[in-house]
Amino acid sequence: MTKILACVDGSPYTPSVCDHAAWAAARTGDPVELLHAIGRRDIPSVPHGLDLSGSLDAGETERLMAELAEMDARRAKLMQGRGRAVLEDARARVQAAGVAQAEVRLRNGDLLDALAEAEGDARLTVIGKRGSAADFAQSHLGSNLERVVRASRKPVLVASRDFKPVERFLIAFDGSASATRAVEAVAGGTLLRGLDCRLLTVGANPAEANPALDGAAARLREAGYRVQVDILPGEPEEVIPDHAARNGVDLLVMGAYGHSRIRQLIVGSTTTAMVRACRIPVLMVR
State the pLDDT at residue 175. Answer: 85
39: left (phi over 0), alpha (psi -120 to 50) or beta: left
Q: What is the DSSP string of 54-66?
A: TTS-HHHHHHHHH
Angle at which helix 58-96 crosses helix 14-28, to 10 degrees, equals 40
Residue 275 to residue 135: CA distance in whole angstroms: 17
Question: Does residue 259 register a pLDDT over 70?
Answer: no
- Burial pattern 34-59, b for ≥16 Cβ within 10 A else e, equals bbbbbbeeeeeeeeeeeeeeeeeeee
Cα Dmax for the chain: 81
State the pLDDT at residue 85. Answer: 95
Residue 157 to residue 20: CA distance in whole angstroms: 8
The secondary structure of residue 247, as a DSSP letter, is T
Residue-wise pLDDT for 225-245, tens only, equals 999 999 998 888 889 999 999
State the pLDDT at residue 59. Answer: 74
Coil, helix or strand for 127? strand
Name the percent of the chain lying above pLDDT 70: 80
Residue-wise pLDDT for 157-215, tens only, equals 999 999 999 999 999 998 888 889 999 999 999 999 999 999 999 876 666 667 889 99
Residue-wise pLDDT for 119-160, tens only, equals 999 999 999 987 654 443 444 455 678 788 878 889 999 999
pLDDT confidence band for 67 (50 / 70 / 90): confident
- Cβ-based neighbours of 252, under 8 Å, separated by 6 or more: 169, 170, 172, 240, 244, 278, 280, 281, 282, 283
State the pLDDT at residue 55. Answer: 58
Query: Which residue, 27, 1, 13, is CA-closest to 135?
Result: 13
Question: Does residue 53 register a pLDDT over 90?
Answer: no
State the pLDDT at residue 206. Answer: 61
Contact 234, 241 (CB under 8 A): no
State the pLDDT at residue 42. Answer: 44
The model carries a pTM of 0.83
Cα within 13 Å of Cα(48), Cβ side: 3
Residue intervals in the chain for CATH 3.40.50.620 = 1-160, 164-286
CATH number of 164-286, picked from 3.10.129.10, 3.90.1720.10, 3.40.50.620, 3.20.20.140:
3.40.50.620
Q: Which fold has domain 1-160?
A: Rossmann fold (3.40.50)
